[in-house]
């Protein structure tokens, strides 16, 4: 759907290691030196969803298909990235293409893994990365203001846009992100954001990369990060990227047993994937037949014809009705036949807003 999550952070904080584990393949080089990743590595990652397995137990399909999201491993940023340091301009443009940022923050001590700033300090690291995002936005907005200044001499709408742009520029100049700008509901801000894709306006999820000991109990670095995240309204997900990567080779049951031995209920990566899916504003509806049980990815709030288009454009063009059974009813009455008999199948029209977990069949005519 053209929506992605960019993994960012300083060099050597666990970005590529996390990416390797996310994709369950060793296709992002990990090395103990900055800029080992230059071209952004991209991967389509399945969204963990236990509901698919339960649907499959009833339907017994040939295959199961999960919803997916795109993750992009972006090379490590450094101080001065907005001025081109460490190929920074290239890396910042890669971030502009994603919708959500997974900001990996190192929260463990290890003298064998160098830190580009010399010591572990999550708040300093966040300030460096997010400061560079703001500085990049200042540059982009400055060019736009020059253009609007010329246009405003003869165009009232351009004058209004220029006023808003100058107001935003003053906000950014205080090193405050676009996400905290008071006038975000202004249509001129929304137009600017659509055009310039402000880096500092993107949703951020913090990935607290810890060592094995840090999985069980929050260390001082994690506590500091959580306190900061609470202030800015961001999620923090704790994981040990090294362990997650080691689990790549394990079968699902073995991985679950391994986590249990560590005293951890759920993989940090699974939490990251599900949280990212939600932050992208995505939900899944299901189709369930003997060929496949499948989750289809749509934006929250889509109506039935638009939701049908992700299967095939003809489904939207020729939409007649949607047969809908809630996931809970499908499971409770052991499938479509049982749900129908219990009166739990509904016929919905063009105005129906699809809900997460709906089991659907579309009637259409082309």
- Taking residue 103's Cβ as centre, other Cβ atoms within 10 Å add up to 26
pLDDT at 80 > cutoff 70: no
Give CATH 3.40.50.300 domain extents, the chain.
4-278
Confirm if 330 and 57 have CB atoms less than 8 A apart.
no
Q: 88-96 and 122-151 are packed helices; what angle lies between their axes, rounded to 10 degrees?
A: 80
Residue 92: which of 3, 175, 202 has the closest Cα?
A: 202
Domain 301-364 has CATH 3.10.20.30: yes
Give the per-residue pLDDT at 226.
97
Domain 4-278, CATH: 3.40.50.300
Give the per-residue pLDDT at 91.
63
Please state, rounded to an integer, the average pLDDT across all residues of the chain.
88
pLDDT tens string 303-360: 999 999 999 999 999 999 999 999 999 999 999 999 999 999 999 999 999 999 999 9
Give the per-residue pLDDT at 83.
57
pLDDT at 135 > cutoff 80: yes
Give the per-residue pLDDT at 31.
42
- Tell me how far apart the alpha carbons of residues 159 and 265 are, in angstroms, rounded to a whole number: 55
Least confident of 110-119, 145-154, 288-297: 110-119
Give CATH 3.10.20.30 domain extents, the chain.
301-364
Percentage of the chain lying above the pLDDT 70 cut: 89
Confirm if 12 and 106 have CB atoms less than 8 A apart.
yes
Q: Which DSSP category does 26 fall into? A: -
């Amino acid at each position: 759907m053209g929506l992605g999550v960019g993994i960012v952070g300083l060099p050597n904080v666990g970005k590529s290691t996390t990416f390797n584990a996310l994709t369950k393949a060793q296709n992002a080089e990990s090395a103990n030196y900055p800029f080992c990743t230059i071209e952004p590595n991209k991967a389509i990652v399945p969204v963990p969803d236990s509901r698919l397995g339960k649907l499959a137990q009833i339907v017994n399909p040939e295959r199961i298909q999960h919803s997916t999201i795109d993750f992009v491993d972006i090379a490590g940023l450094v101080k001065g990235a907005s001025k081109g340091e460490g190929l920074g301009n290239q890396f910042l443009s890669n971030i502009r293409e994603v919708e959500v940022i997974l900001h990996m923050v190192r929260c463990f001590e290890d003298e064998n893994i160098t830190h580009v700033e010399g010591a572990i300090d999550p708040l300093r690291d966040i300030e460096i990365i997010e400061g560079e995002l703001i500085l990049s936005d200042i540059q982009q907005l400055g060019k736009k203001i020059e253009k609007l200044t010329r246009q405003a001499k003869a165009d009232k709408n351009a004058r209004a846009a220029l006023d808003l742009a100058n107001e935003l520029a003053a906000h950014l100049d205080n090193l405050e992100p676009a996400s905290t700008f008071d006038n975000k509901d202004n249509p001129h801000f929304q137009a600017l954001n659509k055009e310039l894709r402000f880096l500092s306006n993107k949703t951020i999820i913090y990935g607290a990369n810890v060592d094995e000991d840090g999985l069980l109990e929050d260390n001082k670095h994690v506590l500091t990060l959580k306190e900061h995240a609470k202030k800015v309204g961001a999620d923090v997900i704790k994981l040990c990227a090294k362990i997650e990567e080691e689990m790549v080779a394990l079968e699902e049951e073995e991985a679950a047993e391994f986590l249990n031995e560590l005293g951890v209920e759920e993989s940090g990566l699974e939490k990251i994937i599900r949280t990212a899916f939600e932050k992208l504003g995505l939900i899944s509806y299901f189709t369930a037949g003997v060929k496949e049980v499948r989750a289809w990815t749509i934006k929250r709030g889509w109506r039935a014809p638009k939701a049908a288009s992700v299967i095939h454009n003809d489904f939207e063009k020729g939409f007649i009705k949607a047969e809908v059974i809630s996931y809970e009813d499908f499971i409770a009455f052991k499938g479509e036949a049982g749900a129908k008999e219990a009166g739990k199948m509904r016929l919905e029209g063009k105005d129906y807003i699809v809900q997460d977990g709906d089991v659907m069949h579309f009637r259409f005519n082309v």
